[in-house]
Every structure is written in C-alpha cells, then in structure tokens.
Structure 1
C-alpha cells in the first residue's frame, strides 16, 4: 500500500487489524457524534490510522455527502459508524456499499442479516461491544473484528475496566480485538498488544487534536480537566454516560423528573428538525431502542437528550447548555497535536517501549 502524502513515517506496523482494514498503523479514531466529521476522519486516514465517520446525527443524504467529502480528501481506507437499531439502517448500509466504504462499525450489535449483507458486499464489519457475551454473539454471526470498550471510555459505557474486559474477550473469540477505553499514547498501545489486542481505538485523544472541529473553548475545558473531573452519570438519558463534570451536568442531576422529560420532548423536536426524520420514524426508532436495550419508555424519551446536548457543546460551543462526553484520559491530555503528529507520536513511543522491553 502506498502511504498518502501526509503520512507521518515511511514504515508500517502490521497486526491482524492493519491487514484486515488496509491501514498502516493499528490505531482507530472512534465515530463520535458531532465530532468525527469529514475533516477529522480524513486527517486520521492520511496519518495512517483508521478514521470512523459518525453518521447517527446525519440524514442519509448528509451521510452520502460526508462520505464523498472524505473520499475527496484521502485515498486511504476509512469507516462509517452506523446505528444498528435505526429504522433506516438498511438505507444507510446501501449508501456505505454504494460509496465503497471499507469499514462499517456499530455502537450496538448489528443483526446477523446486516452483517451478512455488508460482508457479501466486501465491507469489513466491526461492532463495538461492552461485554464478553456480546463479542461471542457478533463473532458467531460473522463480524470481522470487535472493538472492546472498558468503563474508562467516554460516552455510553459499562462498569468493567478495560484491563479486565479486554483479556476476557481476547480469550473468547478468534477474530481481531481492538481495545478502547483509557488509551492515549504508545505505552497503552503496547499494553493492549500484550493483552492480545490487534490495536487500540481512541476517542477523546482524537477529539483533542487540531484537526477536530470542536470549538476551541470546548477543547480548553477538556484540557483543563483533571481525572477527577470526569464523571459517570445517568442524568442525561437514564443510561451510564461518562462525561466532564460541569455545573450544567450537576443541574441535570438535581432537576425533577417532570422537567427532565419536558426537556427531552423539546430536544426530540429539535433533533427531528435537524435530522429531517418524521415523528413516525422517531417513534419507530424508539421502539427498536426500547427492545434492543430493554429500556422503559421514559428512558427512550430521555435518549432524545443525548444528541442535542452533545451538539450544544461540540458544535455550538455552549458548555453551559451542553454536555461533553469524555473518557477518563481527558485528565492526562495536555495538548492539541494534529492527527499526523499524534499518530507519529504514538507509534514512535510504542516502538521505543517495545525496544526497551526486549532482552
């Protein structure tokens, strides 16, 4: 494979992940809503890692346009993150196939039918999972690899640490496993490889790059955060959600149930206007979410909070009105390198650590 012009180094680092998806380095930039757009994804791809485009906050037309923009910026492989429980998941899969996207990732386990359809079209399928049994299920259905996120990771997350979950999954499946949750440098990459992973996935670390379109004031809040400032709360949508602790998050936790539900209804209306979805389609997605996650109707309604509260910060820069999903690693990140600089730094440090570990 010929490295793109902006590649950080003339070498490659081969693992089962790099061979599977065709990138040079075993590093994945996760599909963060409102964050992982064409600029960040293409910069990651040009740096030799795997960039994942976030599509959950896009309409199908916006998704096709974003994919084409990434393709205009890079010739390297990249992926698209899809919602397996979306009512229009089939249409989005069709776009991924038609546009020749290399990888389809999923935040929830896709159905066996979706996996088969993508694989038959030559698309690599990599779901994200948070439990050993989920990894075993999607592997049995034909997934090509899995991303395993431990509780240190940002956004919706579980309560099992990466250091416990990762070896469980590596021992349980015979497909490449990508480690997520708590990774930000070359030392973490080497540790993940030692556990048997084929690479690492990073979200917060890529959010905090100069190629990220997140407003500068929001990045400054992340950089100022210490580890103790990253909290786990259910106040946004009723599910465990890791984010920066702010006065707004505290106010959400202290708000009465009726006011929270009223806010969720307003946010659902706002997201409907942004996404172009009909109320019928939103109800259909809500039914799928309720079944897929075993949620109450109030939790389904609260889920409308998530995309709009994230947009308030990640797009509009309103940290006083939005939330900032974050892994615990935000507390140890202090700078904003470009994606090329970040990938080169991670790989250089990983090779140095591996060299020092050898007899």
Structure 2
C-alpha cells in the first residue's frame, strides 16, 4: 500500500482515504467493482440507471456485505422513478448520491436532509453554478476527453473555469488515469479526480475479457465521438458497428431505437407507461426532440450487448480517450496504490528541483 496520503475537501466530505472516484458506468459499475474500489480507498459509485428499483436495493446491500467503506449511487435525475431510488439511498444509508444530470432542488434538499452527500455531474460552467446554488455538496466536471455522453470543452479549459465559478469542491473527470493527472487536477484547484475507463480496465471489472482486449488494443485515434447512437455526442471505441451506424439513415435508426426501447423495458422491468413518463421527463430536462428521446433507448441496450454479453460486434463500447494509452489490467487496489504513489513522487519532484527557479 502506498504511503502517500492526500487529504482534500473531497476526502473530508465523503470519508474516503484517497481523492479518487470510480465513475458510475452502466452495466459495469456493479457491486463487484464498486466494493473493490471502495476497499482500495477510492469512492466507488454504483450505476443504477440500468437496474430496477428492487435491483438497486439488492446491489446496495451486496456492496455493503463486501465492504464497510463509504460508497455512492449514481442515478438519472430525469427518471420517473428517481424519488423511489432516492428513498432506497436514504433507507439503506448510502453515503453519496451522484447524478448524471442536474437533480431538482427538491431532490437535493431531500437527500441533504437525510445526511446524504449530493454530487451532480456537469459538463458546463452554468450547470455547475446552478446545482451549487441549489445546495449540491460538490460537483463532478467532465471534459470532452471523457467517455460516454460528453461535451465539447476539454478538461484543461473546463475545470479551472468551474473551479473559479463555484465555492464547493470540484471533482475533475475526463482524461485521467494516473498520479500525474491527479496532481495536475489538484493544481487546477480540483479536490480529486474521477476515472471511468481506467477502472473499467481493471481485473475487478466485470466486463468480459474480449471487450477488455478491444479497449487495450485501441489507439487514441480509435476513440471517436458519434451522435448516431442516441442523437447526442457520445465518445466510444470505433468499431464496424459504429461505422455502420454512421452510415445509416434516419428511418433505420428510429426502427432500431423502437426495438431497443422494448428490450430496455424488459431489462429494467419498467412498464410502457413508465417508459413514456421517463421520455417526457428527459425531453423537458434535456431539451431533446422526440426523435432523440426515442433514440435514447439505444445506449443502454447497445452497451449491455458489449459490457455484459461480450459482443463487440453487436454492442458499443463507451470510452474515454485514455483507453488509447492504457495497456494493463491491475486490480483496483493496485491501481489506486499506483496513482497515489505516483502523485507523491510527482509532488516530491516538484518540491526538490523539478522547477529550476521562480523569479
């Protein structure tokens, strides 16, 4: 175990040993990965959007049976059953609630009243300012390098912009994989870093070996952004399927989305009425067209095909650009230990002559 300990506003806020967050990734961040990250001293985040409410409660209890360390749950603020999921978080004593989209003022207040730390994820300065004003305890900011749904502003530009705009702890995401990145984020004013692709590529990740091999084989140029999966910018590995989606017409895309909506309903045990309510909430909360709402069903189904079933030919693989420079599969404990040891070494080098002088 690394002797490097960095206490920050994040570690103080959530009670973890290290200022490192394992991002909540659908079909990936289940009890096995989350508990391993938590045991390693990071903040593990359970991804709940692809679970039923009962499945979420069972997953929380499984994590709790594996570790006594703090962990969190990520959920969609625009989901029709968000209040039910919040109830599970409160009743089960989960330490942190994170959100893929800005939660309402009411949800934030309900969680904070129950002693739950609220950390929304944002991709723009104005969204960070909004949730900070509503009472969020911290904010996770993802730059364009990050995997999955992403914006167009690089982390190195977006992060200091948000740090300067809010007075709550900021967690940096998008492009992080090692201790050098952690030190850089701290220098920008962040309280820690979040990593998705790097935790996906660990021995504790449940992702099938064939899928991990595809990530390890990718170069930086193989990680692309497409809007053809669900109508929104989405960073993922380039594959034959992604190329085919890029060439497909609108009619084919909408028909595929209808089939995937039906598959998603079965996988999450939702009624069609609940699916429609979720679609209405999504349309209002993210200002989407009905076509984009329908296409949104593609993402979880195509991710499941790869992340659960191992079908790299039939599924998509959300990925940060860092996949192109990752070449191993450490355990979560080995990864976090390595990140902290390297961060300590970088900080010591800066203090002992890496900078030749300041005038």
TM-score by length of 1: 0.97
**Match status 1:251 vs 2:251:** no
**Match status 1:211 vs 2:204:** yes
Aligned to 1:350: 343
Which digits, 9 at most, give the CA deviation of each residue in 1:238-287, with x for residues without a partner? 00000000010000111111111111000000110111100000000000
- Counterpart CA distance in 1 for 2:249 and 2:4 is 56
Match of 1:104 among 85, 92, 97: 97
- Counterpart CA distance in 1 for 2:266 and 2:50 is 11
Aligned to 1:143: 136
Match of 2:13 among 5, 16, 20: 20
**Match status 1:60 vs 2:46:** no
Which digits, 9 at most, give the CA deviation of each residue in 1:207-244, with x for residues without a partner? 00000000000000000000000000001000000000
Aligned to 1:235: 228
Aligned to 2:168: 175
Alignment of 1:1-359 (within 5 A): 8-9=1-2, 12-359=5-352
- Counterpart CA distance in 2 for 1:343 and 1:114 is 32
- Counterpart CA distance in 2 for 1:143 and 1:351 is 30
* Displacement after TM superposition at 1:12 (Å): 3.2
* Displacement after TM superposition at 1:9 (Å): 4.1
Q: Counterpart of 2:55 in 1: which secondary structure?
A: helix
Task: Give 4+ residue runs of structure 1 displaced > 3 Å after superposition.
Answer: 8-12
Q: Counterpart of 1:231 in 2: which secondary structure?
A: strand
TM-score by length of 2: 0.97
Q: Unaligned regions of 5+ residues in structure 2, if any?
A: 353-359
Q: Unaligned regions of 5+ residues in structure 1, if any?
A: 1-7
- Counterpart CA distance in 1 for 2:5 and 2:342 is 14
Cα-Cα RMSD? 0.7
Q: Counterpart of 1:201 in 2: which secondary structure?
A: strand
Tell me the number of residue pairs that the alignment of Structure 1 and Structure 2 aligns: 352
* Alignment check: 8 A CA contact 2:5 2:340 kept: no
Q: Counterpart of 2:93 in 1: which secondary structure?
A: coil
